Structure 1
């Protein structure tokens, strides 16, 4: 028996390769499936099953393409319906894989069809669970993502409580836990940075598995502080349910080099959005007017999904040399398949063609602190709510990047704003979006709040009120 976790850091997502006696199951595969085919071929094995723990919302799975390429059976949990061929497993159903068995445990709560796959080894011993978004290390899945359901998030949270206590917690403490996500995923709120754990340890340390926890306590704690899901979640879930474009076709269509004149024509006549994925320092120095910055070196795909509201938006890319295929692949992982090409020769070719270039004003934290001591400045903090509440500059206005499209009217085009996040990545994203909407008086604070804290500017700490 062989188990391999194939973890993708930018999505905080774990796919799994399980092999026994020449037969393979892939759990929650990524969109680009050739890696799984190559791995099985190298081991002289055949992919028999593609096991989906649920309809994923935070990424587009590779299940449809992988099934088409290999003939493997797609398996979902009870009640799942799709627009393509698959097997909707019953609770307790056992799948044979070489010399091991995989038992389907229906664990609704995160979504209605959510399942946990229990791997039973050659000797009949419970070895591991592939818990999807039902159980994470340190947390459990958010219960507000059911597709087109009349159930409330409270109803789903109650289901999740029962699933954990009746299906997972009775398992032995030495069972290995392989979750679908780790820290950085928006599918939970308190995920560990670890990606593999032991069930017994989770029973001791995971707040949601406390022995004396009532269902009412569980519902309250699971839902407390949960942020609204990013707008692309529902769209990705529907793609996973209905099917999607073949990835190889998406890559072939998008990975096209465009000369500056062709690139400009695409922007002007195809309503294509110019997406600049270079490092933020390069964008600051010079970029195409009205382009949006979301750099490959940060949380690229999730931020694209959160901020570009039309999943079918035509995109043309400004990429670092040799990074076009990576950018298109990572866009496709969250369902953004309509890339039309990239700028051949990059920003240098654009400049050499005599095209307009703009820069973003940027100053160091020390320069900013000197200015702030001498005059009143408009400061825009684009970090998440929890970050702002924990500590922020006394005079800062808060506009979380997550909600910048909805709350842009809170910013005055006639004022100059000094924009910061935690480290400098998100502030440049925010500034690029504001600039593209006609906010021209923006100054980025390099290094973000991490650098600002090293100055002596006054900050405000959030103090939790005490209940008497």
Structure 2
């Protein structure tokens, strides 16, 4: 596509707007409706402008980051803002996506709203000031992004989506997943369901909006994946999400989920679930190790007093720093990443592990003590 090219779709048209910054080839689409005048009224911004945030320019590597950040500044201030404050914007991502620092939770906005509330736009800055602010404190890019970039440059191998993987009876499922180094066993149920009882060795990545992002962080494309869900519908949705990020080796799922597993009398593992009040009450116990698995940028804003820190994606490299005989109480922003971390600890032989549902959000809601770095 070329900049300025127009796609006619009946009374609606889409004009291609080259908008480099997130990537060099990035485009946006200006939307017009012949029944509403000649001027555009909406903009599909892709990964350039989000609610309360802008796109990351660092996902292609350090060599191009500053150049892309400068191009992002030009896109926003010389191409977007002159369109006018009434323009509706429809971004590609919402809250939880790693394509920005801290994307807001609105699915759409307007340029006027972003001028008022988006930190990247609500103060006029020079290009250098914009670049410096944008790159300051940029979180680590998800490890699967580099792989996706390579996959997207290859010819398509198939155009259809994935089929539902084969259902496996409990004993066959157990045999196929016995070697935890050879396969990836993923439980996509909610954190509370997982905590109540799960297949030993399973990694809990709950099927929520952030599932694809954290599956990309925690899984690889070299080993087959076996899934555990509440039902086949949930398993199929997880398989589709994995397929979309290049994880195609879903080799099977547990038939009828944990119901068949428990009815077969097979082993169960569990994770303790602590409220923030129990965490506060027990954090001074010498037997308890409090582990914060949020990003370094989040921890810098405050943490539970006495908590150790290991970002969940790097936790396997920090296991030797933890006491396997004690209780490890894990928290994050909401409990989602903490459950991933808790399942990792259980898989690596930590028997006494507690997840904290609600985690930092609940801790702050109840005005519990906060330590600053």
TM-score over 0.5 (shorter chain): yes
Asked if residue 169 in structure 1 is aligned to residue 81 in structure 2, the reply is: yes
In structure 2, distance between residues paired with 1:207 and 1:456: 26
Counterpart residue number, 1:319: 229
What's the offset of the Cα at 1:183?
A: 2.2
What's the offset of the Cα at 1:446?
A: 4.8
In structure 1, distance between residues paired with 2:357 and 2:126: 47
Q: Normalising by structure 1, what TM-score?
A: 0.71
What's the offset of the Cα at 1:201?
A: 3.4
Root-mean-square deviation (CA), in Å? 2.8
User: Within 5 A, what are the aligned runs for 1:51-450?
Assistant: 89-122=1-34, 123-146=37-60, 151-209=63-121, 212-244=124-156, 246=158, 248=160, 250-252=162-164, 254=165, 256-268=166-178, 271-297=182-208, 299-308=210-219, 310-322=220-232, 323-373=234-284, 375=286, 377-450=288-361
In structure 2, distance between residues paired with 1:249 and 1:204: 41
In structure 2, distance between residues paired with 1:164 and 1:178: 15
What's the offset of the Cα at 1:193?
A: 2.0
Where structure 2 has 5 or more consecutive residues not aligned to the other structure, the ranges are none
Q: 1:211 to 1:344 in 2, by over 3 A?
A: closer
* Contact map agreement 1:313 1:336 (CA 8 A) in 2: no
Q: Normalising by structure 2, what TM-score?
A: 0.87
What's the offset of the Cα at 1:360?
A: 2.4
Q: 1:223 to 1:121 in 2, by over 3 A?
A: same
Does the residue aligned with 1:220 lie in a helix, a strand or coil? Answer: helix
What's the offset of the Cα at 1:370?
A: 4.0
In structure 2, distance between residues paired with 1:120 and 1:298: 30
Post-superposition Cα deviations, 1:256-290, rounded to whole Å, max 9, x if no partner, equal 21011221232147933211112222222222221
What's the offset of the Cα at 1:215?
A: 0.8
Post-superposition Cα deviations, 1:327-352, rounded to whole Å, max 9, x if no partner, equal 22222232222111111132232233
User: What is the aligned length?
Assistant: 369
* Contact map agreement 1:298 1:425 (CA 8 A) in 2: no
Deviates more, 1:406-415 or 1:123-132: 406-415
* Contact map agreement 1:182 1:192 (CA 8 A) in 2: yes
* Contact map agreement 2:114 2:122 (CA 8 A) in 1: no
Q: 1:104 to 1:374 in 2, by over 3 A?
A: closer
In structure 2, distance between residues paired with 1:278 and 1:347: 10
Q: 1:369 to 1:221 in 2, by over 3 A?
A: closer
In structure 2, distance between residues paired with 1:234 and 1:216: 27
In structure 1, distance between residues paired with 2:89 and 2:353: 47
* Contact map agreement 2:161 2:240 (CA 8 A) in 1: no
In structure 1, distance between residues paired with 2:270 and 2:127: 54
What's the offset of the Cα at 1:235?
A: 2.1
Does the residue aligned with 1:417 lie in a helix, a strand or coil? Answer: strand
Where structure 1 has 5 or more consecutive residues not aligned to the other structure, the ranges are 1-88, 463-468
Q: 1:422 to 1:274 in 2, by over 3 A?
A: same
